[in-house]
Amino acid sequence: MSNQNAILYDNLLRRHTTIQNQINAIPQLSIEEQSRLVDINEKYSPENQEKVNNLKQQLVVLEQQLKQLF
């Protein structure tokens, strides 16, 4: 791996970690709120779910970029 690829890899991993932390910081619904929903798997409000989905899409793009390095 070249030095340039190593730097890019490190930057991509840092961005990945930052996005993961952003996802973890998004508030989830309380157990009571979740139990009232039809879909028991919903953990976020619709607004927060959209944020999570967007961040997860960013993770997919980063993971693809990481795979291209090798």
Q: How far apart are CA 47 and CA 11, in angstroms?
A: 29
Provide the residue ranges of all domains of the chain, joining segments of one domain with +: 3-68
Q: What is the pTM of this model?
A: 0.82
Given a cut of 90, is residue 37 above it in pLDDT? Answer: no
- Place 1 in a pLDDT band, splitting at 50, 70 and 90: low
pLDDT computed for residue 70 by the predictor: 78
Q: What are the two backbone dihedrals, phi and then psi, of residue 30, each rounded to the nearest 5 degrees?
A: -70, 165
